[in-house]
């Protein structure tokens, strides 16, 4: 089950001013909230009881009682591990526990966010595509590189670019039914938007992997696969959570493709392994 505090944190941008005020209080005093009535919370957080009810529904709960139960369920982790920032002097065990909480919640929320019918659609697009062109920049280049290696290994002709000019060149010369697959957590990466526009102009099938359904890129893509953005640490040494969720979706596509087209993939993998073995034997003879 996902951590309700992480759910609240991830939804902060969508809250009204009063809802954000309530969210801040709950995140700062979760143990205190468990002991409070609606009226007491409304008075202390300086919001109305109606705001609390709306807030609970917005975060996917049926009412304040469910919020208290959800907070009660994570009391131990709040008391022993915390749930948000890394503090000075924390040992490896505590940091590991915090990371586990964060990533487990992100995975649970992404599972809820994903439309499995769209997963099936993308798997079929991969199968019928004459080739696949992957594109992602900076952190999003990591899942793109991972998919590039794995897709080629199972017999899907795949190109990968992290340079816009090269990507545009390849796309301009692309055959009909080339699949353009872009990754952008924000969905506002300028280069991704430009490539999707070009793909649209060429009537190519396009897929976007993002956490922002309302983004510019999401409006341009034929299929949008959504991960859940629960935010990164304020220290943010890297986009760890978003990248791991993108890798998860990439692997979901891969294994579903293998399952659906098992015979073809098995033959491709066998041929690949035979070729690798032959090359290695040839090298050993020299």
- Type and span of the H or E element at 226: strand 223-226
How would you write the pLDDT of the chain (286 residues) with one tens digit per residue?
568 888 888 788 789 999 999 999 998 899 899 999 999 999 999 999 999 999 999 998 999 999 999 888 877 665 555 555 567 788 888 888 878 877 888 888 899 889 999 999 999 999 999 999 999 999 999 999 999 999 999 999 999 988 899 999 999 888 889 999 999 999 999 999 999 999 999 999 999 999 999 899 999 999 999 998 766 554 444 468 889 999 999 999 999 999 999 988 988 888 778 878 888 877 765 5
CATH architecture, range 4-112: Orthogonal Bundle (1.10)
CATH architecture, range 115-273: 3-Layer(aba) Sandwich (3.40)
Give the start-to-end residue ranges of the domains of the chain: 4-112, 115-273
- The two three-digit tokens of residue 196, written as one number: 């999707």
- Strand, helix or coil at 140? helix
- What is this structure's pTM? 0.77
């Amino acid at each position: 089950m996902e951590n309700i505090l992480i759910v609240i944190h991830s939804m902060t941008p969508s809250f009204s001013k009063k809802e954000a005020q309530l969210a801040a209080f709950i995140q700062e005093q979760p143990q205190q909230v468990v002991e409070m009535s609606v009226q007491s919370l409304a008075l202390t957080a300086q919001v109305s009881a109606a705001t609390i009810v709306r807030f609970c529904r917005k975060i996917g709960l049926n009412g304040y009682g469910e919020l208290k139960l959800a907070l009660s369920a994570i009391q131990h982790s709040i008391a022993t591990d915390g749930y948000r920032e890394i503090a000075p002097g924390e040992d490896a065990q505590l940091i590991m526990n915090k990371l586990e909480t964060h990533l487990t919640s992100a995975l649970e929320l992404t599972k809820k966010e994903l439309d499995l019918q769209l997963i099936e659609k993308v798997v079929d697009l991969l199968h019928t595509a004459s080739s696949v062109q992957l594109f992602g920049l900076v952190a999003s280049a990591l899942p793109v590189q991972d998919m590039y290696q794995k897709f080629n290994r199972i017999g899907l002709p795949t190109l990968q670019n992290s340079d816009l000019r090269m990507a545009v060149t390849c796309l301009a010369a692309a055959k009909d039914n080339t699949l353009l697959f872009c990754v952008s957590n924000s969905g506002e990466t300028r280069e991704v938007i430009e490539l999707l526009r070009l793909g649209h102009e060429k009537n190519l099938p396009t897929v976007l992997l993002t956490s922002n359904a309302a983004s510019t890129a999401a409006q341009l893509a034929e299929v949008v696969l959504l991960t859940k953005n629960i935010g990164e640490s304020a220290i943010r040494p890297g986009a760890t959570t978003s990248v791991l969720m993108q890798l998860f979706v990439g692997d979901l596509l891969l294994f579903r493709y293998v399952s659906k087209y098992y015979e073809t993939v098995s033959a491709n993998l066998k041929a690949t392994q035979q070729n690798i073995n032959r090359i290695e034997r040839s090298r050993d003879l020299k």
